[in-house]
Structure 1
Amino acid sequence: MTDEGMNLNDLNNNLNAINDDGILQLTKQDVQPEIDFWDSTVVCYVLRTQSLYSVMNGFLRRVWGKYGIDRVFSCDNGVFLVRFRTRDARERASATRRILFNRKLVITKRWQPDLKIREEKVSVVHVWVKLPNLDLKFWGREALMKIAGLIGKPIKTDKITALKKRIAYARIMIEVAVNGEFPEFIEFFDENGNRIKQAVQFEWKPVECHMCKGMGHVEQDFPNQFVKVRKNQPRQQKSVMNQKRWRPMQKPVQGKAHEHVVKPVHETK
């Protein structure tokens, strides 16, 4: 590396890389340094939107800065790469719960050497799912994989589930389709042929609200829906029963029965 850039002046080395068919053949040694460089990187992009680099750079550093971010890179298709200083920092950042940017999900995944960044399309996402009161005999790896497979593609459990430090529910990361099916229950047979009905709780669902264009809830669950409904309703006129009307009332003056004065009063009907 020089002050002007990387020195690539080694023609003989390039010629030696040509195979018998006259086509360049790279080796593992050629790409390993770059694989090592990007190995601590998380790929992320915002579902249903594209954001400016300056905006996302600041946002990602606020969310993940405590883990030690080296650099934030951007691609022209709205994909951002966040390189952490260590692989452990990458793992800790990836283990955080879902991130929302402007009420839209931030998709995150670990960078892989065969990942086609510029061809990334959001069709599936990773969500955390809880299986409350799951029988302890189903907490093994093989059973959890099969049970979680009824919901989507199982990815991993959280650390607490793996160590059995909490047995109220098993928590599993599952890959599901955007706007797919999100069952409240799943059913399967145990080793003795007993039918098991297991509750499923999604910590977040990748569904889109057509009212606010946000992610994670549908129209009937829109938090401010009741406000919009009230705004759209015409104001009701006050009831005639509650209106006051002025009318004169005649009252005799003491000592002068033939004289009358008119005194305004409010009468409620």
Structure 2
Amino acid sequence: MVDPNEGSSLNFIPATVVNGVKHANITHKDVTPEIGYWQMAVICSVLSSIPSLDVIEGFLRRIWQSYSIDKINLGLDRLSKLGSTLGIPIKTDRYTKEKRMVKYARLLIDMALDAPCSNFINFINDQEVVIRVLVSCEWKLVKCIHCKMFGHLESDYREKNKTKLVWKPVQHKELAQTIPTQAEKAEGISQQAALCSIAEHMDVPWCVLGDFNSALYLGDRIGGNDIQDFEIKPFADCINTYELQELRYLGLYFT
């Protein structure tokens, strides 16, 4: 960030509009103060190092001690005109003021939040030639054109492609089939066969209700002859094969 206590103050100078594009008008009067300096400037090339201007100044002073190296005065009017094409110029930084960074000038410019930050500045020199200078914004506020908010681009808008979840009740198809109940043991076997036939085509949760006239465990019969394994095996195999579970009856037993 530009330090307002170390830079030079700038002024707003209205730009010239040509075909809807702002142009800074740089006159001969604006460049005259710099002409005398650059006529006496020393141009050197340093290889394998990037020394600061203080180091170069010290080197030159040791060689030409009888000559004083003048401080470089920056053309503030020119910077004010250039900055006014983007917004209201406020300050330069210290290095721009002292012209220690000759590659570019660094300005603090007051701009509207929704104002576009151009990547270049056009100015008309004293020869009436339009020159384009590249601009780099250190802090460029971005705006999402989708939600009209600042701080992110449309490509980063999280709500744009967000999937909205809607609870939709599951429609279960109810299946019911009645098998006639018979008291005879032989008929009970046919019921088991019918139950197995239904289970082979069942792919949803299901419940089986009824009297199958068949014991499932050896201790299911109270009184009478003991239950033999061959009596419960067919029904038990059917229950196990189709993963059914018995809900045990609680209370009194009636026979």
Q: Same fold (TM over 0.5)?
A: no
Higher strand proportion, which one?
1
When normalised by structure 1's length, the TM-score is 0.30
Rg (Cα) greater in structure: 2
